[in-house]
Amino acid sequence: MAEQRSANTESIVYALAARSITAQPAKRTGGPAIPRSQEVCISLVADHNRRFPGESLFLYVRLQTEIDLTSCGIEVRIPEGLILVDSFCLQGDGPIRPTARTIDGDLYLTYDFTAGAEKKVTYEYVLETVVAPARDDYVLDVTSVILARAATDGSTAAGPVIRDEESLGIAIAAKSSYVRYLPSLYTRDELMGRFLMLFESFLSPISQQIREVPYVFDPTVTPADMLPWLASWLDLQLDPEWPESQRRALLKSARRLYQKRGTAAGLREYLQIYTGGEVQIIEHRADNLVVGQRADLGNSVALGRDNRPHTFTAIVRLAPGLLESDVQRQQWYQRITVIIDREKPVHTAYTLRLEPLDE
């Protein structure tokens, strides 16, 4: 363990010395060893979190910076147990090929940005690896580190060192987990465990899809193209022109909206979800029209709009900029009218007013 820490320190110092940067060496731990930078961030993900020996594993390294960096370097540690096949730049104009060196069996890849890195630009690299043969189950720890300097106050002078790192673990299975379904005699058979790897490798994607079926019915995480299908189960109509966030919000509120359907509160909530603005529903009641022996029609009875039963006015206040032109106003008027006609009681009539939302 001491030798490994020494090797890690040496690799970081080597990378820093190449850019005349001095900083405390990054610690190699199972999680982030330092506070994450708000200005420079490095991300490390893998296409799988569990692999068998001989299977491919793709690692994706992404650098995102909100400031200009005068000098910058990315280092990725590929532990012993992974064999590097190829690496290439997926996005950005950074260095195409890394420099590589091996320390105590671990492979260190360094991407040296000699010209620095531009702000608001994303740099992404893909590393293709293969899992080496193994006799026992274990976890591979892959680490990526970013070390950089930024210009101070817009000058070319070097600023303080910026550092960020991220790690991930990949579970390596030396034999198939399917052997647990066989008699105990076969669990001690190494050949059987490796033979069943083939079937588990083929069937794992299908098993994963089955395990993820519950997420299909969750409006928060279901794929966007599944939203209309999910809405059909609830007899909801989703306009394809609606933003995805509003369609998801409507599906999540479906049960509550059905409980209040045909009421002023239900219509108000529906329109608020769709428009993102403020909605006011004013119901008009015939308070001075009394049916009885003394009831009559004349000057004392008002049957105007404000005193007509089973009518209401819907006032929808939209965000500034949504009602700037007559075309925008007409489009919003038509869309909201379709919703009100579908959700209101059939015997009611209404007036729709669109107003800009006060800032």
CATH number for the domain that contains residue 317: 3.30.300
pLDDT at 164: 85
Residue 210 is assigned to a structural domain of this protein = no
Mean pLDDT of 116-126: 88
Contacts for 229-235 with beta carbons within 8 Å, 24 or more apart? 234/258
Check whether residue 164 and residue 269 sit in a common domain: no
Q: Could you tell me how many residues make up the chain?
A: 359
Q: Of 151, 172, 193, which marks where a domain is finished?
A: 172
Question: 328 versus 7: which is more confidently predicted?
Answer: 328
Residue 187 lies in a domain: no
- 27-31, 53-57, 189-193, 345-349: least confidently modelled range: 27-31
For the chain, the maximum distance between any two Cα atoms, rounded to a whole number of angstroms, is 104
Q: How confident is the model at residue 246 (pLDDT cuts 50, 70, 90)?
A: confident
What CATH number is given to the structural domain containing 144? 2.60.40.1530
Higher pLDDT, 8 or 268: 268
Residue 188 included in any domain: no
CA–CA separation, 306 and 283 (whole Å):
9
Give the DSSP H/E element, type plus range, for residue 51: strand 50-51
6 lies in the same domain as 128: yes
The reported pLDDT for the residue numbered 7 is 40
pLDDT level of residue 322 (50, 70, 90 thresholds)? confident
Residues 38 and 155 in one domain: yes
The per-residue pLDDT for 155 is: 52
Q: Cα–Cα distance between 54 and 130 in angstroms, integer?
A: 6
Q: Are residues 154 and 271 in the same domain?
A: no
Q: What digits encode the pLDDT tens for the residues 10-36?
A: 443 334 333 333 223 333 333 333 344
Instruction: Determine which of 134-138, 251-255, 343-347 has the lowest per-residue pLDDT on average.
Output: 134-138
Whole-number pLDDT of residue 24: 30
Q: 269 lies in which domain range?
A: 253-289+303-356
Sorted by sequence, the CB contacts under 8 Å of residue 44 that are 6+ apart come out as 59, 60, 61, 62, 76, 142, 143, 144, 166, 167, 168
pLDDT tens by residue, 89-112: 988 888 888 999 999 889 999 999
Q: Report the candidate in 20, 18, 72 with the shortest Cα–Cα distance to residue 41.
A: 72
Residues 31 and 152 both lie in one domain: yes
Question: Which pLDDT belongs to residue 21?
Answer: 34
Percent of the chain residues past pLDDT 90, beyond the cut: 25
| Angle, helices 244-252/264-275, rounded to nearest 10 degrees | 150
pLDDT: is 217 or 288 the higher one?
217
Is the C-alpha dihedral spanning 139, 140, 141, 144 positive or negative? negative
DSSP 327: H
Share of the chain above pLDDT 70, in %: 80
**What pLDDT does 11 receive?**
40
164 and 271 in a common domain: no
307: confidence class by pLDDT, cuts 50, 70, 90: low
What SS3 string covers 110-167?
Answer: EEEECCCECCCCEEEEEEEEEECCCCCCEEEEEEEEEEEEEECCCCCCEEEEEEEEEE
Residue 8: inside a domain: yes
d(CA 203, CA 256): 40
193 within domain boundaries: no
- Residue 106 included in any domain: yes
Domain count within the chain: 2
- Answer yes or no: is pLDDT of 156 > 60: no
| pLDDT at residue number 291 | 57
Asked if residue 25 is part of any domain, the answer here is yes
Please compute the mean of the pLDDT values over residues 251-263 and round it to a whole number.
90
Residue ending a domain, choose from 172, 204, 222: 172
Name the helix (H) or strand (E) containing 349: strand 349-356
pLDDT single digits (tens) 49-69: 888 888 899 999 999 888 888
Kindly report the average pLDDT of the chain as a whole number: 79
Which domain-ending residue is among 172, 189, 209? 172
